[in-house]
Copies of this chain bind each other. A is one copy, B any other.
Amino acid sequence: MPKSKFYGNLNGQLIDYSVKQRADLFQDRGLAYGHGLFESILLYNAELPLLERHLLRLCRDAHKLGIPIQFERVEQYLKQLVEVLESDAVGKGVLKIIVTAGVGGRGYQSPEVTDPSIICLYSPVPEDMDRQRGEGIAVRYSEHRLPYNSALAGIKHLNRLDQVLARREWDCADYQDGLMFTDANQLIESISANVFLKNASGDWLTPRLDVAGVSGVMRSLLLEEIFPACQIPVAVVEVSSGELALCQELFVCNSIRGLVAVTSVHNSQNKPVKSLPIGEQTLMLRSKLVEKYPHYQ
């Protein structure tokens, strides 16, 4: 595998350093305003396990931002890229799709006819992914708060400065993710994943995402398929930082890492809040996920 090679396409045209690029991208509303969305999709043995969920979410949420895209078109561009990767014997990695409102409009005003930019980019799987899945991770409370924004809540849009600022709060290797809260100390998600916890009463919960947060594809899969298959009830509710501090099991999830147990929690002053074992039901849920989707083993 040629490590340094760059794999990507823009509206189905391969992106190549040796090929002319559209100067349009400099004027793209994705760069100018973050007027767009993205998906990060696991590529495993040349398969995209949750492709349909990703594309359904992408198309649904793109319309909320005034970006009309067709499921089939994005799927086609993605598959073109997978073929190129296959021919180079690259079967594992992350495919990122960025869909923007393209070029046009007058300032913030959206274009009358939107010609979206659909960009697909390949990157290798995160180096420490296997270790995270096996051993769990340490997380830290983020000082930076997620703002209330019901119009944007749930959408995996390109306005990600909150996550960037939260991630800038530490630069050591002690933590693998940060937990993010609202001003009212409601837990929403981690910087790059959704969160599930088993509270002190033994009930499984995951935060509501109606005022902030990204409604993740893996979160939906767990709620709709994996928890039911394990016959474990789970509720989508407001989760306070107090409830979090007393939880018995805790894990984060996204469509790249799958389900990753949290084994230690620190606050934003880097003081330990609690240590947790990888819980029995967390293991049961992960086994069921891997049984149905071996891509996440």
Give min CB distance, A245 to chain B, whole Å: 24
Query: For the complex, is A110 an interface residue (Cβ under 8 Å from B)?
Result: yes
Q: Please tell me which one of the listed residues B32, B110, B165 contacts residue A167 in the complex, with CB atoms under 8 A apart.
A: B110
Query: Do the beta carbons of B160 and A32 come within 8 Å of each other?
Result: yes
Query: For the complex, is A183 an interface residue (Cβ under 8 Å from B)?
Result: yes
Kindly report which residue of chain B lies nearest to residue A30, judged by CB atoms.
B31
Q: Which of A154-210 contact B (CB under 8 A)?
A: 157-168, 183, 191-192
Interface size class of A (residues with CB under 8 A): 35 or more
Report how far A27 CA is from B27 CA in the complex, Å.
Answer: 15
Query: Do the beta carbons of B183 and A165 come within 8 Å of each other?
Result: no
* Copy total for this chain: 2
Query: Do the beta carbons of B149 and A147 come within 8 Å of each other?
Result: yes
Query: For the complex, is A259 an interface residue (Cβ under 8 Å from B)?
Result: no
Kindly report which residue of chain B lies nearest to residue A166, judged by CB atoms.
B108
Report how far A219 CA is from B10 CA in the complex, Å.
Answer: 39
Query: Do the beta carbons of B38 and A32 come within 8 Å of each other?
Result: yes
Give min CB distance, A177 to chain B, whole Å: 10
Query: For the complex, is A59 an interface residue (Cβ under 8 Å from B)?
Result: no
A15, A161, A163, A168: most-surrounded residue (chain B CB, <10 A): A161
Query: Do the beta carbons of B163 and A31 come within 8 Å of each other?
Result: no
Query: Do the beta carbons of B15 and A23 come within 8 Å of each other?
Result: yes
Report how far A29 CA is from B158 CA in the complex, Å.
Answer: 10
Query: Do the beta carbons of A31 and B158 come within 8 Å of each other?
Result: yes
Kindly report which residue of chain B lies nearest to residue A27, judged by CB atoms.
B121
Report how far A132 CA is from B17 CA in the complex, Å.
Answer: 44
Give min CB distance, A133 to chain B, whole Å: 17
Q: Which of A1-45 contact B (CB under 8 A)?
A: 6, 8, 10, 15-23, 25-35, 38
Q: Please tell me which one of the listed residues B19, B35, B148, B166 contacts residue A161 in the complex, with CB atoms under 8 A apart.
A: B35
Query: For the complex, is A284 an interface residue (Cβ under 8 Å from B)?
Result: no
Q: Which of A108-145 contact B (CB under 8 A)?
A: 108-110, 119, 121, 126, 144-145
Closest 5 CB pairs of A and B: A147-B147, A21-B21, A33-B160, A159-B159, A34-B34
Beyond A19-B20, A31-B100, A106-B126, 6 additional pairs, beta carbon < 8 A: A17-B20, A21-B23, A25-B31, A28-B31, A33-B163, A158-B161
